[in-house]
Amino acid sequence: MPLSVRSWETADTAPTREVFRRSVHRTAADHCSPEQRDAWAPAEADLAEWGRARARAGTRVAVRDGEVAGFTDLSADGHIGMFSVHPDHGRRGVGAALLDDVLRTAADRGLTRLTVDASLTARPFFQRAGFTVVHEQRVHRGGQEFTNVAMRLDLPAAGGRGTRPRQVVWDMDGTLLDSTRVVPAAFVGAVAELGGPAVDVDEVVAAYSLGVPEAMLTHLLRRPLRPGEAEAYYRRLEGAAVDPYPGVAQTLDDLRAAGHRVAVFTGAAVRGARTLLRAAGLQVDVLIGGDLVERPKPAPDGLLLAARTLGVDPSDLLYVGDAPTDLGAARAAGAHAVAAAWGHLHDPAVSADATWRSPREALRVLPG
């Protein structure tokens, strides 16, 4: 299902208003009373004024299979005014694609900071992306009082990246390893063993952005994970058959021979990552797992830790990954974002600094 982000058009007036209304009444239901939701997004709206507001804001629209799935806008001073995802498209990469578009626009404008007044529902999403809380605030609308959160994200200064990167960092699943079947199957089997609801591969893949397996299992089980239950997942990885993508093994060998360390940053926990890398016959010199950092991709934490471990500036890194969250993490860290076109989550509509058709392209780009 292709996902793209484009400029707002007049025909998007009613669809974007409906996305906003549904996101308030469904997605935000846990944090707002019915009265608050009606005040925030009333059933009746002046569509002509809504359309004029969207046009003035320079709204960007996420579209999947011809359907408006979300929208956002960014002011000249770096404030994200609106950011809405249709609940039917939640946890399917729409928010990440919109935020990546915002980051690209900010970089093009030379902005050094983004700000947003996030709802309590949206706060965790922006925190995972690296935004920090400035303060909570009270706002009034339609006779109702709401609490939202002023947040900010400091960006690398324009021109901060080096003209030529010195070190590549690889994503693992979908970039080094063709784990398309192995990892989802392990989650599906673990959830079934632990008495959870029936889940399918698409649900597992949609939960990748949550980070480590423990967080994903909690989400898929729809309950807190009990001590020791994660073993149901890790046990299924032991002895699993997983292969590196074509060209990966030789590329890593050649990079090491040229004096480059082989570095990996994966959202998976270190334990699971080592199991899969070992099964694929790959050795790495630096392994940063999602359990070593506070926030998952697209927050920059993992790449910032990789840069410190490697003794280089984040701007010297190339981060190669297949998923939109990989590219978002690279942008947030000030690294070079490289899309792995061979990976199973690659979306050509998501912007990147470069797109590689083969891992062998690392040998052409890196010095030595």
Q: Label residue 227 left, alpha or beta by phi (over 0 means left) and psi (-120 to 50 means alpha).
A: beta
Specify the 3-state DSSP secondary structure of 283. coil
d(CA 294, CA 344) in angstroms, rounded, equals 26
Cα separations in angstroms, 321 against 130, 159, 223, 350: 18, 23, 30, 12
Distance CA 332, CA 326 (A): 10
- In the residue annotation, 173 being an active-site residue is answered as no
Q: Of 12, 73, 100, 171, which one is the catalytic site residue?
A: 171
DSSP E strand boundaries for 52-188:
60-64, 67-74, 79-85, 113-119, 132-141, 144-154, 167-170, 177-178
The kind and range of the H/E element at 3 are strand 3-7
- Interatomic CA distance for residues 264 and 292, integer angstroms: 13
SS3 242: coil
Integer Cα distance of 196 and 258 in angstroms = 48
* Catalytic residue annotation: 171
